[in-house]
Amino acid sequence: MCKSSSCFVEKSMKTDIFPDNPYLLLTPGPLSTTKSVKAAMLKDWGTWDNDYKNLVQKIRQRLVRLATNDEQSYTAVLMQGSGTFSVESVVGSVIPDNAKLLVLVNGAYGRRMADIAEFLQIPTLIINAGDLAIPDLFQIKKTLLENPEITHVAAVHCETTTGIINPVDEISRIVKSFNKVFIVDAMSSFGGIPLNISDLNIDFLISSANKCIQGVPGFGFIIAKVDRIKQCKDRARSLSLNLYDQWKIMEGENGRWRFTSPTHVVSAFHQALLELEKEGGIAARYKRYCRNQEKIVKGMAALGFNSLLPRKLQSPIITSFYYPNEKFEFIKFYEILKKNGFLIYPGKLSNISMFRIGSIGDINFKDIDKFLSIIKDNKFW
Ligand SMILES: *Cc1c(COP(=O)(O)O)cnc(C)c1O
Last-in-domain residue among 229, 261, 277: 277
Banded model confidence at residue 21, pLDDT cuts 50, 70, 90: confident
Judge whether residue 5 has pLDDT over 60: no
- List the single range of 15-24, 101-110, 324-333 with lowest mean pLDDT: 15-24
Count of Cβ atoms closer than 10 Å to residue 66 Cβ: 21
Does some domain include residue 39? no
Residues 183-218 pLDDT 10s: 999 999 999 999 999 999 999 999 999 999 999 999
What is the per-residue pLDDT for 86? 98
Q: Is 298 found in the same domain as 166?
A: no
Q: What is the mean pLDDT of residues 99-128?
A: 98
Closest Cα to atom 12 of ligand 1:
187
Q: Is 361 found in the same domain as 270?
A: no
Alpha helices in 120-203 (DSSP H): 137-146, 168-177
Put simply, whether the predicted model's pTM sits higher than 0.85 gets the answer yes
What ligand 1 atom has the least distance to the C-alpha of 160? 15
Does some domain include residue 17? no
Domain count across the chain: 2
Q: What is the mean pLDDT of residues 300-324?
A: 97
Q: Is 198 found in the same domain as 103?
A: yes
What ligand 1 atom has the least distance to the C-alpha of 87? 10
What ligand 1 atom has the least distance to the C-alpha of 109? 11
Does some domain include residue 12? no
Q: For residue 109, report the distance from its CA to the centre of ligand 1, in Å.
A: 7
Asked if 91 and 122 touch (Cβ cutoff 8 Å), the reply is yes
Q: Give the CATH number, domain containing residue 344.
A: 3.90.1150.10
Residues 46-62 pLDDT 10s: 999 999 999 999 999 99
Q: Which of 90, 109, 184 for a ligand 1 pocket mutation test, highest count of atoms within 8 Å of Cβ?
A: 109
Q: Is 191 found in the same domain as 84?
A: yes
Asked if 59 and 268 touch (Cβ cutoff 8 Å), the reply is no
Q: Is 294 found in the same domain as 239?
A: no
Does some domain include residue 113? yes
What is the per-residue pLDDT for 1? 42
Does some domain include residue 8? no
What is the per-residue pLDDT for 9? 55
Q: Which of 188, 204, 216, 359 for a ligand 1 pocket mutation test, highest count of atoms within 8 Å of Cβ?
A: 188
C-alpha distance from residue 124 to each of 144, 238, 343 (Å): 13, 18, 37
Q: Is 271 found in the same domain as 291?
A: no
Closest Cα to atom 3 of ligand 1:
83
Taking the mean position of all CA atoms in its chain, how far away is CA 71?
21
Q: Is 94 found in the same domain as 111?
A: yes
Cα angle: 170, vertex 173, 176; to 5 degrees: 145
Q: Is 193 found in the same domain as 335?
A: no
Last-in-domain residue among 277, 306, 339: 277
User: How far apart, in whole angstroms, are the C-alpha atoms of residue 141 and residue 176?
Assistant: 11
Q: Is 191 found in the same domain as 302?
A: no
Residues 115-149 pLDDT 10s: 999 999 999 999 999 999 999 999 999 999 999 99
Please give the residue range of the domain that contains residue 135: 44-277
User: How far apart, in whole angstroms, are the C-alpha atoms of residue 274 and residue 213?
Assistant: 10
Last-in-domain residue among 277, 308, 330: 277
Q: Give the CATH number, domain containing residue 138.
A: 3.40.640.10
Q: Is 66 found in the same domain as 143?
A: yes
Q: Which of 105, 185, 205, 210 for a ligand 1 pocket mutation test, highest count of atoms within 8 Å of Cβ?
A: 185
Judge whether residue 245 has pLDDT over 60: yes
Give the pocket of ligand 1 (CB within 6 Å). 29, 82-84, 109, 156, 160, 185, 187-188, 208
Judge whether residue 376 has pLDDT over 80: yes
Half-sphere exposure of 203 (CA within 13 A, CB side): 23
Q: Is 111 found in the same domain as 156?
A: yes
Residues 217-238 pLDDT 10s: 999 999 999 999 999 999 999 9
Does some domain include residue 38? no
Does some domain include residue 9? no
Q: Is 78 found in the same domain as 158?
A: yes
Does some domain include residue 37? no
Residues 260-285 pLDDT 10s: 999 999 999 999 999 999 999 999 99
Per-residue b or e along 127-162, where b marks 16 or more CB atoms closer than 10 Å to that residue's CB: bebebbebbeeeebeebbeeeeebbbbbbbbbbbbb
Mean pLDDT of the chain: 95
